[in-house]
């Protein structure tokens, strides 16, 4: 196959900069190439793994004996316009920032709070990315997928995707490979500045426009998060725990300043960054070339040369410390692969 390459270094294809060589690697630019790649893996009886920009992965440094498929399918267009909203289609290989630029150009809004997330649309759907009070699922109308078992192309509704907090059906069923997403966007701008950092930023601005929001988020992210082009990172490494009201009240007796946020079905979300910083006392902790970013403790950073095992062991240590203090097993946002 022309699109298949041999022995490709995977550290060049993820933002944590870990990973050994892949025995086979390819970039697919359309559905036919994707099907061709999957058939290659099946014919050779090897495993395959699909990636976008690799911005939410922690890859093992061992050699992967299978096929890594990078989704590079591109294309965005307005499918239909109605009085209050428009439906746009975006291929899975488009970047989130590229999608938002398209929306700004076409006077559409809704997901601008996701600006500067360094992932692709397909991976964003899988992860149900969220930032500054917005989740991707709230604007996804449907998703086009290829079933790696049957090679059939079909469409899943928003409900079919079973979205949750940084979760979806695609995390459980790896045979469903996203090729395109259909989004329902607003024709008129409605600013979403309920998130505390945005509320503070715009405290003296009465009517921010969509470009103001994008500029604000870029500035806030720059001040809060590491530059993934300079430091190895996958952004927030852990999920914020979601607990019952009873569990929160129990914790509150011991830690009176513990903040809370409402979650679905009456549950409560607690900020893990606060727990790591204030309760565990681990702010800015560094072990060798791995550490917690000093401005955001949900973020683990590879300062240069750290291996998969270094980062994984560091993360396990954080997990143990959190459990020791609040008796909650925290979950990772980042996927461990191979």
Domains of the chain, each with CATH number or no CATH: 5-71 (3.30.43.10), 76-222 (3.30.465.10), 226-337 (3.90.78.10)
3 state SS for the chain: CCCCEEEEEHHHHCCCCCCCEEEEEEEECCHHHHHHHHHHHHHCCCCEEEECCCCCEEECCCCEEEEEEEECCCCEEEEEECCCEEEEEEECCCEHHHHHHHHHHCCCECCHHHCCCCCEHHHHHHHCCEECCEEHHHHEEEEEEEECCCCCEEEEECHHHCCECCECHHHHCCCEEEEEEEEEEECCCCCCCCCHHHHHHCCCCCCCCHHHHHHHHHHHHHHHCCCCCCCEEEEECECCCEECHHHHHHHHHHCCCCCCEECHHHCEECCHHHHHHHHCCCCCCEECCEEEECCEEEEEEECCCCCHHHHHHHHHHHHHHHHHHHCCCCCECCEEEC
Q: Lowest mean pLDDT of 48-52, 60-64, 204-208, name the range.
A: 204-208
Residue 169: its pLDDT value, please?
A: 98
Q: Is the pTM of this model over 0.85?
A: yes
Residue 338: its pLDDT value, please?
A: 78
Q: Please determine, for residue 258, whether its predicted confidence score (pLDDT) is greater than 70.
A: yes
Mean pLDDT of the chain: 96
Mean pLDDT across 217-226: 95
Q: Please determine, for residue 2, whether its predicted confidence score (pLDDT) is greater than 80.
A: no
Q: Please determine, for residue 12, whether its predicted confidence score (pLDDT) is greater than 90.
A: yes
Q: Please determine, for residue 207, whether its predicted confidence score (pLDDT) is greater than 90.
A: no
Residue 1: its pLDDT value, please?
A: 64
Q: Please determine, for residue 219, whether its predicted confidence score (pLDDT) is greater than 70.
A: yes
As annotated, the active-site residues are 166, 236, 333
Per-residue model confidence as pLDDT tens digits over 157-175: 999 999 999 999 999 999 9
Mean pLDDT across 302-320: 97
Residue 266: its pLDDT value, please?
A: 85
Residue 141: its pLDDT value, please?
A: 98
Q: Please determine, for residue 270, whether its predicted confidence score (pLDDT) is greater than 70.
A: yes
Q: Please determine, for residue 144, whether its predicted confidence score (pLDDT) is greater than 90.
A: yes
């Amino acid at each position: 196959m022309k699109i298949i390459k041999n022995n490709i270094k995977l550290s060049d294809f993820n933002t944590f900069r870990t990973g050994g060589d892949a025995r086979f690697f390819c970039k697919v630019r359309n559905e036919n190439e994707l099907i061709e790649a999957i058939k290659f893996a099946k014919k050779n009886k090897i495993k395959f793994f699909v990636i976008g920009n690799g911005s939410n992965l922690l890859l093992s440094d061992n050699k992967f004996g299978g096929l890594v498929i990078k989704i590079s399918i591109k294309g965005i267009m307005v499918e239909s316009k109605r009085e209050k909203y428009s439906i746009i289609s975006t291929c899975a290989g488009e970047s989130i920032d590229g999608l938002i630029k398209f929306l700004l150009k076409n006077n559409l809004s809704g997901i601008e709070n996701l600006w500067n997330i360094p992932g692709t649309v397909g991976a964003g759907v899988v992860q149900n990315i969220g930032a500054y009070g917005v989740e991707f699922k709230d604007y996804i109308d449907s998703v086009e997928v290829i079933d790696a078992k049957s090679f059939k192309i079909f469409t899943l509704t928003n409900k079919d995707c079973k979205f949750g907090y940084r979760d979806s059906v695609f995390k459980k069923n790896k045979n469903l490979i996203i090729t395109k997403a259909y989004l329902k966007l607003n024709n008129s701008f409605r600013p979403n500045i309920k998130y505390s950092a945005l509320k503070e930023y715009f405290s003296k601005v009465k009517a921010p426009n969509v470009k103001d929001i994008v500029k604000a988020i870029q500035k806030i992210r720059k001040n809060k998060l590491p530059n993934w082009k300079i430091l190895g990172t996958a952004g927030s490494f852990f999920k914020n725990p979601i607990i019952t009201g009873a569990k929160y009240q129990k914790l509150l007796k011991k830690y009176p300043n513990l903040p809370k946020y409402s979650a679905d079905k009456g549950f409560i979300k607690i900020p893990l960054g606060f727990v790591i910083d204030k309760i565990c006392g681990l702010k800015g902790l560094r072990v060798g070339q791995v550490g917690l970013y000093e401005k955001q403790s949900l973020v683990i950073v590879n300062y240069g040369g750290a291996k998969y095992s270094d980062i994984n062991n560091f993360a396990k240590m954080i997990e143990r410390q959190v459990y020791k203090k609040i008796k909650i097993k925290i979950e990772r946002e980042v996927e461990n692969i191979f």
